[in-house]
Structure 1
Amino acid sequence: MWNLWVLSLAACAAASTEEPIGWLMPKEFQPEGAEAPAPKVPEERLSAPAPEGAESEVAEHHEMKAEEHEKEGEHELEEELEHEEELPDDVTWTTALLLMGFLVIGVGLLYLVHYPDEDIRRAMWGMVNTTLSIFCAATFDFSVFRFLHFQVVLSPPPRGLGIKHDRPEIKATVGFLFAALVSVVLNVLLFKITNQQMLFAVRTLGGHVFAFAGILTFAFLQESEWCRDSVWKCVGVAVLAALVMVLAYRISMVVAKAYIGEENWKDHDVRIQRGQAKEMQIDASAITGGFLLVQCLCYSMSLAEEDQHKFMPILEGYPSEHIEHTTWYLVGTAVGMLTFSAVWSICLRKLKGKMGGFMFEYIGVMSAVTGCWCLQRAGLYQLFEHFEDGLNTKPMASSRAVIVNAFVMSGLAVVCVCLFDKIADWAEHGSDSNRSLAMDQEDPQDAMSMASFISFPGDAETLSKVGDGLRTIISGFGMLVGICWDKAFETAHETVAETVPLFHSHPVIGTGLVAAVLIVFVVPAWYWYIVPNAMKAEEAHKEDILRENKRARESPTLTGLSSDEQESLTVDSDEKSLT
């Protein structure tokens, strides 16, 4: 009864006010989920000023809460990063890949340079020779070019000329002066040196130095304002480069003949020097011309809005956007150029007398080298698209694509070299074995039918030309490996020279120092160990294989014998071999 009376009083009080009555009701009579509202605070208390120090306490409280939330957010972010896969930076990725790749390539080369076939062994030694020569030549050229360009041309007086506007025409002029100086020095050296090994080394390394100097000259000329607005003007620059380099060869031969004399011009030593000078000029002209033609092809397939970005980068950078199926167009062009090189060497030898030996060989080699440049660019385009999808930065994607492309093209070149070598052996030596099989038949009619059934199409001279044409393609694949590894080494060189803190403020000095250290260590080893094997003929490699087989056959007989017995057996075997 008392409770009912209290509840009735509460209802009357609620009816006289607008406030809810839930807070007046006992907890057992409140509905589920209802919360007691806060009591109403009088207005005079709300308007009363806060006591001293209350505001600072409230601010400190909010700051502490904010710091706690910030620490909790940082802790959660750290936990998320720990669970996520950490992506390596460009330097770490490049170093790891090159270390593992060099281990595989080093062991693989041990197999290939000791392969029991003289043609493959010669091709592999030539590939290693070309790769190291291109690497040293390109490193030297780019270092000298950067020094002349930045320290001499662009630096303020008195260190340099102080030219403020850096344009492609200025770079082309610097490259032309450097290429002219290289051409004069090389031709003087080639007609002064009489040592065969030194002559071969100067011809190989000098030809590549001259080639990349020509690339710097005419590739920057293609990017000039006058040429870059039309692909046909770029093609005209490539034709101009070919004419200039052929003219340089003709002038050097006229000057050398006047210096040596008409009576000594046909001496044996002079003819060897002339041959090396011709080979040097052919290699340099072919590498330069092939690069410029592929630049024109990349220009025509580019979708870049600005003309200067339609070219593939010469020193550093990344490819621009291009049309669909660009990779397959480049691969098709490469196959066509390599096929044309083989057909030119096999079927059109009659033109050699009319055109001259230099122009005939120059066209064949340039076709093969152009195909190699197309393959290099095709792999670079494809890998760049692959890495660009997973990375946010295009320079990092370009660096990784260049390095991986070197490994891919090296494997492709090795497979193609072995395949074409087998086909060339089949063409050169198969007809002799077939004739011997036919001669074993007692019946002449059976011999004729056997010869017609198993003989190769064409006579022995034609088959020899087929082998020579395939050898030209094999030499082109050696150039492909050298070109791809030059770009990979250039990427690694730039990474070391520009990211190391010691060289960051002086990139030209850093680039020159890294190039000097590499050349000082690589060139002597290349000259002492690679050049002697690369300049060997097939007969010399064949003799090496026979000698190695002979030692392998004799080695089991020497096992378990004393040193005196081994020496006596070795002397006896040598005497028998001489007899």
Structure 2
Amino acid sequence: MLMGSIGFQMLMFYLVNWPDRDIQRYSWQVISQTISIFCAVLLFQGCNGLVEEHFIKGSSPPMEVAVDMGQMLFWLTCMQIVLAVTSGALNEYFGAEPDMEKVELNLKSWSVLFSHVAGFATINAWGSIQQEYFSGSPLQALMVVPIGYTGLIIIYHFFDIVREHVSHMDDDVKDEFEEKWDEETEEAENDVAGLSLSFLTVQALRFAISGLLPNQEGNESSSDAFSHSSRQCHILMGCGVGFFVLSISVVNLERLWEEPSKRMERVIEILNNYFTFGLSWCFFYGVRWGMSAARFTDENALLMVSIALFLSVVSFLTIFILDKVEDNHLFGEDSEIAEGATEKMISGLGILIGFSWEQSFDTAVDVVAEGLKHECPPLISKMVMSVILVLIVFPAWRIYILPMERELSEEMTEEGGKKALLKQYAQQHFDLFLHNATDEDDLDKAHLLMKRHRRNAHGLQHPGHGVPSGLKHLMVTSSGIVEVDAPEEHDRQEKQGEKKKRKNAAHQKDLAVSLLGP
């Protein structure tokens, strides 16, 4: 675990500082997904262990299902309450007007964490029904998926009614913070549905392929885990490719549908998450079956770390290839389908890496807890370790990692691309001033051009507009007095820039940044 973690961390140092901004963005996304899933699983597993010990152990199947369903409702309700508070929707009760930028960051961090915790609680709840009442055949196991979807939609509808009621309690109008609460909560609920329903589907697929239904957590006995053939591994990974193809179909459906209703938008988003998570689950368990069957080790912890390292290397190599394909437009300049497929595959691979390292962390905590069983009950030690690790990791993720991921993701938008370009010019401006060999005339020119780039990035108007005609912006140079950055020239350059605007703001990284160029 130590060797694998250090190796992964050093690999991340290379990738987050890679010259290609897309690779940086994908790397930060992987780190963010890994840590959020890690924190969520630790919290849920620690709480779930105590619940099973005190409420489920020795009880009847109906009682077990009822407790698991109650735990799912508990985490879904916690998610609603936490997002309501962090969004600023309840600021009139707390007497503070929050800053929207800080609200968005806080909301995203808590949304991701609680959506994953609630997602694993939902897997556990519907999984208990799958284990107790629908384990007779793969088709029966698959029937839990539509049942689970219907149940979640009913729960979501109830929460939506509550949110609407709370939003209209004060002034009967939804302000921007209440809108943000509703938007982010629905997105988190969609993640919960996609994560849980895809896992239940892959459980049924594994049942159909191997003839064995894994337990609620997706684990098999040692003898069963080492018994899978290469053919079974290939079939399961082929199912992952099928999920990928279906996810592309959903993306294209979303683009072709001009004005879908709000309900249909939500169904499409859930399907989008469902197929993306399904791709990751299939690839993860397919590789796990293959490496378990290789029998190079009987130690579960070593096996999990090896799987995580293997998937990380293969996934990042694939991401590099797909990024080069997209950058070089090998499928054509205007191939939206190819771009959507590339983004979807990279997203699935990022989630896959997060899943694989989550399993390693979870196994490591189990091993340590088992080693301390003579000093402390494993359930207590696991809960304590989980809380301590989350208290250390979550603030670092919230303060440093998530903002970096959001900043790089925003560069994909037109506005974000302009700001990213402005930062590159500002850095060059800074370097020019620090370098003692920079000519004074070059500094003057760089400063004027820096102001132009700032206006472009923020959409500001040239200060010469509205000034009486005849006034000009002049600069004294060694070759004489010249007119620079006139409003008319500025407008002409803006129009030319619009014509040459790249289709994707992410390609801004290919633009030569020079304040001293012609």
Deviations 1:175-214 (A, max 9, x none): 2111101111212332332311111111111110111101
Give the one of 250, 268, 271 matched to 2:176: 268
User: SS at 1:223's partner residue?
Assistant: helix
For residue 320 of structure 2, what is the aligned residue in structure 1?
Answer: 418
Equivalent residues of 1:341, 1:472 under 8 A apart:
yes
User: SS at 2:17's partner residue?
Assistant: coil
Give the one of 370, 393, 397 matched to 1:498: 370
For residue 286 of structure 2, what is the aligned residue in structure 1?
Answer: 378
- 1:356 matched to 2:256? The reply is no
- Aligned equivalents of 1:141, 1:205: Cα separation in 2: 11
- Aligned equivalents of 2:374, 2:361: Cα separation in 1: 20
The one-letter code sitting in structure 1 at the alignment partner of 2:48 is: F
- Aligned equivalents of 1:348, 1:573: Cα separation in 2: 45
- 1:531 matched to 2:402? The reply is yes
- 1:478 matched to 2:386? The reply is no
Give the one of 106, 115, 132 matched to 1:207: 115
Aligned residue pairs: how many? 427
For residue 69 of structure 1, what is the aligned residue in structure 2?
Answer: none
Deviation at 1:483, TM superposition (A): 1.1
- 1:143 matched to 2:68? The reply is no
Superposition map of 1:53-452 within 5 A: 98-154=1-57, 164-165=58-59, 169-192=62-85, 193-194=87-88, 195-224=103-132, 226-261=133-168, 267-303=175-211, 310-311=214-215, 313-314=217-218, 317-318=221-222, 319-320=224-225, 321-322=227-228, 325-347=231-253, 349-351=255-257, 353=260, 356-387=264-295, 390=296, 396=299, 398-426=300-328
The one-letter code sitting in structure 2 at the alignment partner of 1:256 is: R
- Aligned equivalents of 1:422, 1:272: Cα separation in 2: 36
Deviation at 1:231, TM superposition (A): 1.7
- Aligned equivalents of 2:151, 2:445: Cα separation in 1: 62
Comparing 230-239 with 412-421, greater Cα deviation is found at 412-421
User: SS at 1:349's partner residue?
Assistant: helix
User: SS at 1:382's partner residue?
Assistant: helix
- Aligned equivalents of 2:282, 2:347: Cα separation in 1: 16
The one-letter code sitting in structure 1 at the alignment partner of 2:357 is: W
Aligned sequence identity (%)? 20
For residue 39 of structure 1, what is the aligned residue in structure 2?
Answer: none
Deviation at 1:535, TM superposition (A): 2.1
Deviation at 1:129, TM superposition (A): 1.0
Q: TM-score when scaled to structure 2?
A: 0.74
- Aligned equivalents of 1:310, 1:142: Cα separation in 2: 17
Comparing 552-561 with 267-276, greater Cα deviation is found at 552-561
In structure 2, stretches of 5+ residues that fail to align are: 89-102, 453-518
Deviation at 1:323, TM superposition (A): 5.6
Equivalent residues of 2:35, 2:397 under 8 A apart:
yes
Taking only aligned residues, the RMSD between alpha carbons, in angstroms, comes to 3.3
The one-letter code sitting in structure 1 at the alignment partner of 2:363 is: T
Deviation at 1:115, TM superposition (A): 3.1
In structure 1, stretches of 5+ residues that fail to align are: 1-97, 155-163, 432-454
Deviation at 1:496, TM superposition (A): 0.6
Deviation at 1:105, TM superposition (A): 2.0
- Aligned equivalents of 1:331, 1:338: Cα separation in 2: 11
The one-letter code sitting in structure 1 at the alignment partner of 2:146 is: V
- Aligned equivalents of 2:50, 2:191: Cα separation in 1: 26
The one-letter code sitting in structure 2 at the alignment partner of 1:124 is: S
For residue 11 of structure 1, what is the aligned residue in structure 2?
Answer: none
Equivalent residues of 2:254, 2:268 under 8 A apart:
no
Deviations 1:232-251 (A, max 9, x none): 22111122122222222222
Deviations 1:440-498 (A, max 9, x none): xxxxxxxxxxxxxxx65xxx5xx345424432332222211111111111110100111
Deviation at 1:258, TM superposition (A): 2.0
Q: TM-score when scaled to structure 1?
A: 0.66
